[in-house]
Homo-oligomer: A and B are copies of this chain.
């Protein structure tokens, strides 16, 4: 059994715990909170092979570093696209030094969508891929909306309009005495919203709209060799934290196997062999799905 622990117990930590318990070849080594890591050595005594970093993205680099220094593999869902290469550069020498594997940006985007984009590029090297997100809640946009003066709570839904263009539907619960028109004006000027079609809607309770559903509609039309009009499409409609937690857990298995083979280093999901994410013996997996 591969011992997998969870650091951070929000939506994704809870989903990861469920995916560990459901897996035939993994056992839960423990669930830890951020402060547990500095408080004492209980998390080390739990002897995890892999620690899932279900923390806010900005805390990932620090915790990934601590784990590598202790010889523990990690999986995170670091999601700031522009900083992924930098994080990989930072963790690579640490992982190589301590012979660990750190799989970064493991979720659905970045993550499994990235693998689909890589696959489609291999199938039709020239052409255009569009990743359309939603309908689903954007954490970043919801937080940005909540930061506007007069906003008590906010939910920003991402609506796919095709060719990577998105509409923002922003549901706003006002603080007492706040003026909706002023809030709307401030929000539409905010850099998070200024570049997209944005609709602002006042509601009595944002909590009542809460829903972790999300989706992707990814398309590519491209050229294989000299043959144009090769058309591909990947769609999903999913529970967001459940999928993210599951993908992280499948990556924990891959990290363990890579370390067993002596392949230390920091990897994104397009650097993983799909078979390493699945339980069971190689030949049986090949027989079943190839």
Contact = CB atoms under 8 A, between A and B. Distances in A.
B286 A270 contact: yes
B230 A236 contact: yes
A15 B224 contact: yes
A239 interface: yes
A245 B224 contact: yes
Interface residues of A, number: 69
A290 interface: yes
Nearest to A226: B18
Contact of A232 (B224, B235, B250, B286): B235
Given A125-B22, A278-B121, A290-B114, A238 B250 contact: no
Interface in A241-290: 242-243, 245-247, 249-250, 268-275, 277-279, 282-283, 285-287, 289-290
A152 interface: no
A232 to B, nearest CB: 5
A108 B287 CA distance: 16
A272 B273 contact: yes
A118 interface: yes
A119 interface: yes
A122 B247 contact: yes
B125 A23 contact: yes
**Residue from the set A225, A230, A283 with the largest chain B CB neighbour count within 10 Å:** A225
Contacts of A118: 274-275, 277-278, 285, 289
Given A123-B246, A124-B243, 20 more contacts: A18-B226, A22-B225, A22-B226, A112-B119, A115-B115, A118-B274, A122-B274, A129-B289, A224-B238, A231-B238, A232-B236, A233-B234, A234-B234, A268-B290, A270-B273, A270-B274, A271-B273, A271-B275, A272-B273, A273-B273
